[in-house]
Amino acid sequence: MSAEAANPGAPLRRRGRARIDLRRIGRVALLGPVSRDRLPDAIGHVADAHRAHHPDADLTVLHRAYVLAESSHRGQMRKSGEPYITHPLAVTLILAELGAETTTLTASLLHDTVEDTEVTLDQVREQFGEEVCYLVDGVTKLEKVDYGAAAEPETFRKMLVATGNDVRVMSIKLADRLHNMRTLGVMRPEKQVRIAKVTRDVLIPLAERLGVQALKTELEDLAFAILHPEEYERTRALIAGSGGPDDPLAEVAERVRTTLRDAGISAEVLIRPRHFLSVHRVRVKRGELRGTDFGRLLVLVTDDADCYAVLGELHTCFTPVISEFKDFIAAPKFNLYQSLHTAVVGRDGAVAEVLIRTHQMHKVAEAGVVALGNPDSTAAQQSEPADGERADPTRPGWLSRLLDWQESAPDPDTFWTTLRADLAQDREITVFSADGGTLGLPAGASCVDAAYARYGDGAHGCIGARVNGRLATLSTVLSDGDTVQPLLSQDAASGPSPDWLDHARTAAARIAINAWLDAHPEDQQPPSGRADAPRPQSQPQPTQPADDPRRGPGKEGARVASVAVDGPGTAVRLAGCCTPVPPDEVTAFTVRGGAVTVHRTECPAVARMRATGRPPVAARWNEGEWQDAGECRVTLVAESFGRPRLLADLTEAIASADAAIVSATVEPPSEQRVRHTYTLQIPDAAGLPGLMRVMRDVPGVYDVSRAQHQAATG
């Protein structure tokens, strides 16, 4: 293992760069101002790290920012006993190592001046411009004197709103929290736990969503050490005892280097140790750690094509673990991450996980949005599509959704609770709307979430959805790539049911549903949208038989509604489970008492009787006679979305087709869908297709079919 295994949470450092002594830097800062012709020694390390990523950067503004920060913080000390200037220097160094541009570093040096010194925002604006002033204001905390217990949630709300305009605000906040977590040991234990919990629940998920893995992993380890000290120490001991000269991961790495070299692929193969929390998670998942579980192989290449070339060689020369393969290059994660993931089996069955990416992908994987610079730069503006929706990756969709719902959560407690719940959803899917647009939703989102993401409060009238062209309930969970079309009621008074909260995963949907329910308590019983539907009986009532025999003698056998069966004088009945009418294809079976029951051939009862070995009886309609058979009965099932006046509209449509309702059942509604079963007397079987067509035309009805089971009416 590399030296990083002893402290896997530490950020990656360039070779040859020594660890920086912040205590010494603080002492240098106390020496006072320096000559104008050179940078202060205290920020020399920041300058070196910055120039490593931006060789042509103008450091003059950093010089001026440092002078203002040092002079304004002079005399202030941290709880650790260090000069306070060491904190903004450390935060700036973290960002410089990640490749942040000059404006971000300038604001980072000044990020505590307005909050903790006499410097004002107007002074910052005058000396460094509007951009730096905005970033400093974005990370400045709200005063507890003014906000009381709501100061912390309202401060985060303020930062998130500012981040919506410039994501660099959150970059500075994350670096600020990282340095504070590194030095948290001087705080009281209860305060350490409180800060660590907020870091775990809010800052770490934000770092993950912004793709800043270098900050996220170290924050995870620092919070892990405070919140679970025993597990942390156990994991530390396991890591300390790993590696050595017989490290199986080092052996696999050397074989991979040889394989790629022989294939003529230029690649850098590194061993990437897992950080503490990652090792702990693997141990919990597998029970016992293997030698290759303490790290992963990282293969860095020049371009995308080389990534797939490396993958091909590894899967050819090693035994791959197919279930571990993931392609995040073709389908990047929502936090900008791109890489190929696979696992191969080495000697003695050792399984090594392998990450394959380009150097640019690696930079973005480590630094995320920090590496993307100014979101308002010319390059970012050129990425904006014609429809006005930004494609800029520094303005991710999840952040836009968060900013939308926070406006509907004026109460600080509601905002704080909802924010933590929203950030706990760590995976995102993309679904398509019927007009070709896209919606970003958290994994596990349902049609309810898609409706509110698409229509806002207009989704209160949603009565169903089509998913990939098929009708679906509102509770249907969506998958990545689905096409979803919410169906809205035309009734402006319709609203959501309390059951919708069981299916809503997004904060926006839950807040909107709760707001509507709070404003309409009287509409929640019976479920909203079906106020005029008849209250269903606790048990279905027996239907009137739809198979009254109409017997008549004939030369070829007994007839009922012009049905002929073999066997003269046989009693014939039309089955009530499928109510056959001419010209349905029919078959018959002898039942108890010697009578014959005629079924439609597709009736499920036919298959059951055939399965028991019961022989069918030939049955047929008498062509030329069945047109004169007169009235007949039929059972129809109407599937619909619930809405007011639906039952009245269906009854009116049936009457307009000259059909009489013998009996009807409206089953208890389920997930905004209602099932109606009607036994109807129609004047002529030839009018059945027209009747079904008229019923389908009723708004809200999406299917009408012949009954395929014993009719349950009431």
Give tens-digit pLDDT for 95-135. 999 999 999 999 999 999 999 999 999 999 999 999 999 99
Q: CATH topology for 38-236?
A: Hypothetical protein af1432 (1.10.3210)
What mean pLDDT is predicted for residues 40-64?
86
d(CA 459, CA 462): 5
Confidence band for 373, pLDDT divided at 50, 70 and 90? low
Residue 162: its pLDDT value, please?
87
Reduced to 3 states (helix: H, G, I; strand: E, B; else coil), residue 438 is strand
> Which residue blocks in 533-617 are alpha helix, DSSP H?
604-611
d(CA 447, CA 454): 10
**Under a CB-based contact definition with an 8 Å cutoff, are residues 455 and 488 in contact?**
yes
Q: For residues 147, 153, 156 and 158, what is the CA-based torsion angle, rounded to 10 degrees? A: -50
Reduced to 3 states (helix: H, G, I; strand: E, B; else coil), residue 351 is strand
Q: Which residue has the tokens 């998670």?
A: 281
Contacts (Cβ under 8 Å, ≥6 apart) of 567? 557, 558, 596, 617
The answer to whether residue 714 scores a pLDDT higher than 60 is: no
What mean pLDDT is predicted for residues 24-49?
56
Confidence band for 523, pLDDT divided at 50, 70 and 90? low
d(CA 299, CA 357): 6
Q: What is the DSSP letter of 304?
A: H
- Highest mean pLDDT (candidates 183-187, 307-311, 465-469, 558-562): 307-311
Confidence band for 268, pLDDT divided at 50, 70 and 90? very high
Give whole-number Cα distances, 187 to 181, 203, 219, 392, 515, in Å.
Answer: 10, 19, 17, 40, 41
Q: Where in the chain is the domain with CATH 3.30.460.10?
A: 244-371
| The two structure tokens encoding residue 438 | 């896209």
Confidence band for 320, pLDDT divided at 50, 70 and 90? very high
Residues designated as active site:
115-116
Residue 406: its pLDDT value, please?
78
In Å, the largest CA–CA distance within the chain is: 124
Confidence band for 522, pLDDT divided at 50, 70 and 90? low
Contacts (Cβ under 8 Å, ≥6 apart) of 130? none
- Highest mean pLDDT (candidates 218-232, 237-251, 474-488): 218-232
d(CA 163, CA 145): 24
Name the pairing type of β-strands 572-574 and 596-600.
Answer: parallel
Beta-bridged to residue 355, according to DSSP, are: 298, 341
What mean pLDDT is predicted for residues 371-385?
49
The answer to whether residue 626 scores a pLDDT higher than 70 is: no
Give the burial string for 657-691 (b: 16+ CB within 10 Å, else e).
Answer: bebeebbbbbeebebbbbbbbbbbebebbeebeeb
What is the phi-psi region of residue 622: left when phi exceeds 0, alpha when psi lies from -120 to 50, beta otherwise? Answer: beta
Residue 711: its pLDDT value, please?
38
Q: Where in the chain is the domain with CATH 1.10.3210.10?
A: 38-236
Using CB atoms within 10 A of its CB, is residue 556 exposed (0-12), middle (13-18) or buried (19+)? exposed
Sheet containing strand 701-706, strands side by side: 660-666, 673-682, 632-641, 701-706
| The two structure tokens encoding residue 514 | 């709760």
Residue 403: its pLDDT value, please?
77
Confidence band for 315, pLDDT divided at 50, 70 and 90? very high
d(CA 206, CA 200): 10
What mean pLDDT is predicted for residues 192-199?
93
d(CA 591, CA 624): 29
Residue 554: its pLDDT value, please?
34
Residue 382: its pLDDT value, please?
39
Name the pairing type of β-strands 351-358 and 295-301.
Answer: parallel
The answer to whether residue 489 scores a pLDDT higher than 80 is: no
Residue 556: its pLDDT value, please?
37
Confidence band for 233, pLDDT divided at 50, 70 and 90? very high
Residue 565: its pLDDT value, please?
75
Q: Where in the chain is the domain with CATH 3.10.20.30?
A: 425-520
- DSSP calls for 146-189: HHGGGHHHHHHHHHHHHHHH-THHHHHHHHHHHHHHHTGGGS-H
Query: Comparing C-alpha atoms, which of 352, 376, 370 is closest to residue 298?
Result: 352
d(CA 535, CA 528): 13
The answer to whether residue 685 scores a pLDDT higher than 80 is: no
Q: CATH topology for 425-520?
A: Ubiquitin-like (UB roll) (3.10.20)
Beta-bridged to residue 635, according to DSSP, are: 679
Confidence band for 20, pLDDT divided at 50, 70 and 90? very low
Q: What is the mean pLDDT of the chain?
A: 78
632-706 has CATH 3.40.50.2020 classification: no
Q: Where in the chain is the domain with CATH 3.30.70.260?
A: 632-706
Confidence band for 491, pLDDT divided at 50, 70 and 90? low
Of the candidate ranges 84-93, 164-173, 571-580, the one whose mean pLDDT is the lowest: 571-580
Confidence band for 630, pLDDT divided at 50, 70 and 90? low
d(CA 598, CA 579): 9
**Under a CB-based contact definition with an 8 Å cutoff, are residues 227 and 200 in contact?**
yes
The answer to whether residue 694 scores a pLDDT higher than 70 is: yes
Give whole-number Cα distances, 326 to 311, 340, 354, 356, 392, in Å.
Answer: 11, 6, 11, 11, 25
Residue 426: its pLDDT value, please?
65
Give whole-number Cα distances, 408 to 9, 399, 466, in Å.
Answer: 38, 15, 28
Confidence band for 343, pLDDT divided at 50, 70 and 90? very high
Query: Comparing C-alpha atoms, which of 426, 289, 285 is closest to residue 351?
Result: 289
Query: Comparing C-alpha atoms, which of 99, 95, 20, 32 is closest to residue 66?
Result: 32
| The two structure tokens encoding residue 419 | 């924010």
Tens of pLDDT, residues 588-602 = 888 765 678 888 888
What is the Cα 455 distance to its own chain's centre? 18
244-371 has CATH 3.30.460.10 classification: yes
